[in-house]
Amino acid sequence: MEPMNQGQYNHAADEIDLFDLIDDIKEKWYWLIGTGLVSVVLAGLYAFMATPTFQTEVVYKPVTEAELLPLNQPRLKDVFDIAADKSYMTAEQAFKDVRAQALSGSLLREFYNLLLSEKDPQLLPLIFNEKISPEQNFSKFTERFSSVDPGAKQNDVFLRLKFELSDAALASAVLNRYSDFMLQKHRDETREAVSMRIEAKLDQWRIQADEMRTKYLAEKERRLLTLEEAAAVAASINQQRPLYDAERVSVGAQPPLYMMGEKALRSEITQLKGRAQRGEDAYIAGLPELLWKIKTVEETQIAWNRVKYIQLDQSAIVPLSAIKPRKLLVLALGAVAGGMAGIMFALMAAAQVRRRQRKLNEKARS
């Protein structure tokens, strides 16, 4: 057998033998065990001493169309300018409106300022830090909120609002308060918007009615002046009865008005003036119908206490366990990290021993 030359020896020395590595780890086992134990202990200290974070949620679902009937009653169709077979607000639209408002920045800020103004000694330290600016405090507060929104391609039709806090009881209390605050705010804004729209429509109709009356009175006044002039002319020529037969008057050849005779003209004048006593609205085309719509809408009452825009399916409950830190996961990761670090330290220690031994052997040969 030929002896190995220097190049072959170096190549063989550079090769890594898996069994040698295993032997090195066995030889330096205390590095593996020690590092693993230290890592697990540190992970345990973090898991059990870190401030826990609890998460709770409220769940909403769409309402039925029946719960929006007080708002979609037929009497208000003309107010909202919608067709008879359409609704002012559908259950889907109501759900979208609440969903859009659920995490509105302005609404969250209003709610946050309300919490700060109460100065709750238990809650205030958890949501306000004097070392940072008010804007940064508000930003951290909004980060505690999250939502799971049903998508168009998902079967889940529920809207979930989630909130995180280091106190489990306060987390559920704050989220329930925000849910009530948000829903009440939406009810108030919707009611105000509908009321303003009804008042605006009534004002429009009242102005339209006044315009119709003004136009009618102007036409009536012109007619009276014309009749007075014609009656005066008929009186001046002593024309008491009509000079023509209505059946003989050709179309487009209307005779002068005075030819009707003073008696007929005075009679028409008396009738026109007498309308004021009987009420003239009935003589104005389209006005009675318009006044009926105004009266109907004015008498319409919306049962706001029966209107629901979204259904609260589940209130926030006190969570039983924290979502952060996950103790078992932290311990498992600590054990894995400690084991890997222990193996590396054991191999490095074994390599250091071999290096020293090689130097001693080289000195002995020299």
CATH of span 23-200+306-343: 3.30.1890.10
Looking at per-residue pLDDT, the higher value among 76 and 1 belongs to 76
Q: pLDDT over 70 for what percent of the chain?
A: 82
CA–CA separation, 113 vs 115, rounded Å? Answer: 5
Residues 87/67, Cβ–Cβ less than 8 Å? no
What pLDDT does residue 155 have?
A: 57
What pLDDT does residue 272 have?
A: 85
Q: Which amino acid is at 244?
A: Y
What pLDDT does residue 61 have?
A: 92
CB atoms under 10 Å from CB of 181, counted, come to: 16
CA–CA separation, 145 vs 56, rounded Å? Answer: 10
Task: Spell out the alpha helix ranges (H) of the chain.
Answer: 6-14, 18-27, 29-49, 77-80, 91-102, 105-118, 124-127, 134-143, 168-236, 262-278, 287-299, 327-365
What is the overall mean pLDDT for the chain? 82
Model confidence pLDDT, tens digit, residues 205-250: 999 999 999 999 899 889 888 888 888 887 888 877 776 655 555 5
What pLDDT does residue 238 have?
A: 81
CA–CA separation, 298 vs 219, rounded Å? Answer: 30
> Does the N-terminal peptide bond of residue 74 adopt cis geometry, omega within 30 degrees of 0?
no
Residue 199 has pLDDT above 90, yes or no: yes
For 81: left if phi > 0, alpha if psi spans -120 to 50, otherwise beta; the answer is left
Any idea what the Cα angle at residue 292 is, between residues 291 and 298, rounded to 5°?
Answer: 90
DSSP class of residue 314 equals E
Residue 151 has pLDDT above 60, yes or no: no
Residue 40 has pLDDT above 80, yes or no: no
Q: Which amino acid is at 213?
A: R
Ranges 52-56, 255-259, 260-264, 330-334: which has the least confidence: 330-334
Model confidence pLDDT, tens digit, residues 77-102: 888 888 777 888 999 899 989 988 88
Residues 336/72, Cβ–Cβ less than 8 Å? no
Specify the long-range contacts of residues 269-276, CB closer than 8 Å, at least 24 apart.
Answer: 269/224, 269/227, 269/228, 269/231, 272/220, 272/223, 272/224, 272/227, 273/224, 275/220
Looking at per-residue pLDDT, the higher value among 325 and 315 belongs to 315
Residues 215/126, Cβ–Cβ less than 8 Å? no
Cα distances (Å, whole numbers) of residue 195 to 27, 225, 259, 294: 85, 45, 57, 14
What pLDDT does residue 8 have?
A: 46
